[in-house]
């Protein structure tokens, strides 16, 4: 059931992306990657994450592109923040898409310079897809659904790390594990190859 629910959410996410032609629109600006839970088949919340890379991010170029969908009846909000001169080093855009009266989807979109240094979800996708199994996906989805029910918000990468690296299998174990973590730090974590161990995070400014 967990995997089935996640699969249905991904199909809905695909439908939204197709309806807005969002990936095609972004591809006019740079290299486009759908990342996060969508890429790992681990969707619990109504969130879609996109990272785009170009030589020189230009907000006006993105606004011109987003203007093409602003009148779509399901697009109810669009937000923007310039983080180019901050540690995130990118332009952030958010779309709220009202699927029905009970379900609003959040589409987080980052435009980064190709020279970006620091953690990127794009760089995690292949390693995660390689490392995930039916069993580990089930454990991760179970924890994420429990967090969602309790309206607790933590970066999902900590759930992935807890399960894939430290063998956590349920939410109670995860809460205990989380007590020893600093979630204010940027994390460069990736699933470890056999014989490797993650060695530390970088603190955000």
CATH architecture of 2-118: 2-Layer Sandwich (3.30)
Choice between 195 and 39, residue whose per-residue pLDDT is larger: 39
User: Residue 123: which pLDDT band, with cuts at 50, 70 and 90?
Assistant: very high
- When the pLDDT of each residue in the chain is averaged and rounded to a whole number, the result is 92
Q: What is the pLDDT of residue 203?
A: 33
Residues 100-126, mean pLDDT to the nearest whole number: 94
Q: What is the pLDDT of residue 184?
A: 80
What is the model's pTM?
Answer: 0.89
User: Residue 119: which pLDDT band, with cuts at 50, 70 and 90?
Assistant: confident
Q: What is the pLDDT of residue 204?
A: 32
Would you say 9 and 31 are in contact if contact means Cβ atoms under 8 Å apart? Answer: no
- The boundaries of every CATH 3.30.460.10 domain in the chain are 2-118
User: Residue 193: which pLDDT band, with cuts at 50, 70 and 90?
Assistant: low
CA distances from 73 to 19, 79, 99 (A): 11, 17, 10
Q: What is the pLDDT of residue 187?
A: 78
Measured distance CA(105)–CA(125) in Å, rounded: 22
């Amino acid at each position: 059931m967990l995997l089935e629910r996640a699969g249905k959410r991904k199909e809905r996410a695909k439908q939204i992306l197709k309806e807005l032609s969002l990936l095609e629109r972004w591809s006019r600006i740079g290299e486009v990657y759908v990342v996060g839970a969508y890429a790992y088949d681990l969707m619990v919340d109504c969130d879609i994450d996109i990272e785009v890379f170009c030589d020189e991010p230009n907000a006006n170029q993105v606004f011109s592109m987003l203007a093409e969908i602003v009148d779509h009846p399901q697009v109810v909000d669009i937000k923007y923040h310039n983080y180019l001169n901050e540690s995130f080093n990118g332009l952030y855009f958010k779309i709220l898409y009202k699927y029905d009266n009970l379900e609003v989807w959040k589409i987080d979109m980052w435009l980064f310079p190709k020279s970006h240094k620091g953690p990127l979800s794009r760089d995690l996708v292949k390693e995660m897809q390689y490392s995930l199994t039916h069993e580990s996906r089930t454990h991760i989805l179970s924890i994420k659904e429990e967090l969602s029910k309790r309206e607790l918000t933590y970066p999902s990468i900590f759930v992935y790390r807890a399960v894939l690296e430290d063998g956590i299998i349920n939410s109670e174990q995860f809460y205990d594990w989380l007590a020893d973590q600093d979630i204010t730090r940027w994390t460069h974590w990736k699933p470890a190859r056999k014989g490797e161990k993650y060695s530390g995070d970088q603190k955000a400014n």
